[in-house]
Structure 1
Amino acid sequence: MATDFTQEIKDLRSTMTSVREVTDLDALGAKIADLEAKAGAPDLWDDPESAQKVTSSLSRAIAERDRVQELDQRVDDLEVLVELGEEEGDEATLAEAERELESIRGAVGELEVRTLMSGEYDEREAVVTIRSGAGGVDAADFAEMLLRMYLRWAEKHGYPTKVLDTSYAEEAGLKSATFEVNVPYAYGNLSVEGGTHRLVRISPFDNQGRRQTSFAAVEVIPLIESTDHIEIPENEIKVDVFRSSGPGGQSVNTTDSAVRMTHIPTGIVVSMQDEKSQIQNRAAALRVLQSRLLLLRKAEEAATKKELAGDIKASWGDQMRSYVLQPYQMVKDLRTGYEVGNPQAVFDGDVDGFIEAGIRWRRSGAEASGE
C-alpha cells in the first residue's frame, strides 16, 4: 500500500510541536547564553571541577537544541522531497523519501521518549547493579548475560561505561556486578529496567538437559553529584580491605586494594575493586554509597521507594520481564506487554524497544495517578 506522506508528515509535525513545547527552546536558548558567558570567563579554569561542569552542561544544552532544530529541518526537507517525487513521478525519489521517513520516525520517537523523562533524577548518569538470584549456577550465568546485554546496549549507542565491581560465582557466571553508564539521561532510560528478570531455558549446566528457571535482580540508581550534599559521618561507615580477585585462573592483585564499605545504620554494603589503588576504590565506593543513601532519603521523604528506582531489593515474586529460550523463543515485559521473538538480539543489546515501552508505561501510570 502506498505511503500516505501527507498524513505521515502531519503526524511528525504534531509530535515535534509537543517536543518543542516540552523542551522550551526559548528557555534553553537563555540557558545556553548564560553558560556561554560563564564558559568565556577568563578565570573559568581556576576551578577545574566547576569548569568541567560548565562546559559539559553547555555541550549538552547545545546538542539538545540542535537535535530539535535539525529534526524540524529534516521534516521540512522530507516534504520538499515528496513534492518533487510526486510532481516528477520519480519512483527513485519517492523510495528515498520512504527511507528518510522511516529514519525520521525513529529519531522523532527517540526525542519524544526523552521528553517523557521528567523525574527529578532522570537527567543523571546511572549506577546499575545486577545480582544473581534463585536458580544456582544458571542464575549466576544469567546475571553475566544481563551484564553483557546492558554493556552491549551502551556500546551500540556510544555511551561510556565503567565496571566498578564484579563478584564471580564459583562454577560460572557472576554473583553480582556493578557498573556506571556515564551519559546524561542514563538513569531516566535504565531506571525502567529495575526489577526481577526471569530466564527459562534448557540448562547448559544440567547433564540431563532439563529446563531450568532462574532469576536475577537489576537495581538502577542515579549517580551522586557534589551538589546533593549527602554527608556520612565517619563513625557510620565500616571499611574492610581485601585483595581483588577474578575467576579461576585469572591473575589477582598482590595488595589489599579492594574495598568493602558498610553503612552501619542502614546495612547498605558497597564493594569496589576495579580501580588500581585502595584510595581510588574508597572514593568510588563512597560515591555509590552516597547515591544509594540519596535515593533512600528521597524515597522516605516521598514514601514511595518503588517510584524512584523500581524495587531496589527486587523480591523474587516481582518479576518484570521473562526471557524464554525453551520451549519457544520470546522476551516479554510483564508490565508493558512489549515482546519480541528474538532473545539473542536482546541479549546482544537490542533493548531500546523495552526501554521506550517502559518509559511510556511509567509516564501513563504517573498521569493516571495525577502526578
Structure 2
Amino acid sequence: MNVNPLLQIKALGQNVWLDYIQRNMLINGEVARMIEKDGLAGITSNPAIFEKAISEHHDYDEAITLLTRRGMPPKEIYEALALEDVARAAELFRPLYDESNGHEGFVSLEVSPHLAYDTEQTISEAERLWTALNRPNILIKVPATQAGLPAITHLLAAGININVTILFSLERYRQVVDAFLAGLEIRVAQHKPVDHITSVASFFLSRIDVLVDKRLDELDRITDYKSAGALRGKAAIACARLAYQHYQQWIKDKRWQSLSSHGARTQRLLWASTGTKDPIYSDTKYVEPLIAKDTINTMPLQTLIAYRDHGQPALRIELELDEARSLPEKLYQIGIDLEAVSEQLEVEGVQKFAVPFDKLLERLSQW
C-alpha cells in the first residue's frame, strides 16, 4: 500500500497547510477528511481567496442576502462572511491544535490590504479581528511592508499570533525576524508569558520566478547574454534556501536562546505562493526542494492534490547551497537586482490583494 506523500512530508517535520478556504468545504467534511487523510495542519486565507470563493460558488448567497436585507454595508458583509468561515475552520482544527500542544491546527485571516502602509490602522484592525475570533489557533496576517514591521512587533507584544505575509526578500526576512524577536522581548520585559505565541513568516515564491524569468527571457532575446535562459526558474528556490539558512542561524543566536529559555516558540518559515504559474515547470516545483523540519508549505488545492498523487518527499532544502549563494550575484551581473525585484513584488503583492478585495466589495454592493 502506497503511503500518502503528504503524510510523508509531515513525518519529515514540515506542516502542510491549504492555501484556500470555501464554506462548503468546511461544511461537507472535505477539510475534515484532509485533516485525517492528508495530515493537513492549517489553512490560510486572504482577500483574493475570499473573492474567488464567494464569486465562484453559491455557498454564500443566502447569508449575503440576509445581511444585505439588514442594511449591512459591503465591507461589514465581507468581514462577517470571512469571520464565520475562519471561525468554523478554527473549530475543525482545534482538536489538532490541542493534541499538538499548539504546534499545528492554525487558520489565518488577513487585515485589509488597504492598510498595508498604515501602521496604526493595521494594529487596530488586527486587534479587532483577533478579539472577534477569540480563539488561540488563529493567526492574523500582517504584510511585511515597512509600515507592517512595527505593527508586527506591537501585536506580538500584545500576545497576538501573527502570520507575516507579502515577504519576498532575504533582507526583509531579516527585518521580520528582528520585529518578531523585539515583540517577544517586550513581553518578557513586562513579565508576560510568551510560550503560547505563534508566528510564521510567509515567504512568497512563484511570483519571484515569474518576474525574474520574464526579465531573463528579455535578456535572452535582445542581448548577448545567451546564458540568461539557464537561470530561469532558479531565483525563488535559491531565495528560500538562503532564508532557511538564516533561520538556522538566528535560532542559535543568544538573543533567541534567551527568549527560548522563557518558553518562546520559533517563528517558522512558511512557503507561500507555491502553485506553479509557468506550465513548463513541474506542478510540485515549489514543494519538492523545500521540505525541511519546522517549516510549513501552504499549497493551493490543485498543488496539494498533485503532490498527493505523485509527490516524492525528501529533505532537499540544503542541497545546491553553493548555487543558491552565487545566484544573486549572477543575476546582478546581468542587470537583475533581487532586492529591486522584491520591492516591485511587494507593491504588486499589495495590489494583488487590494484589487480582488475591491472587486468583491463592489459585487456585494450590487447584491
Shorter-chain TM-score: which interval?
under 0.3
Give the alignment's TM-score, normalised by structure 2: 0.25
Report the structure, 1 or 2, having the larger strand content.
1
Higher relative CO (Cα under 8 Å, sequence separation at least 6) belongs to 2
Report the structure, 1 or 2, having the larger helix content.
2
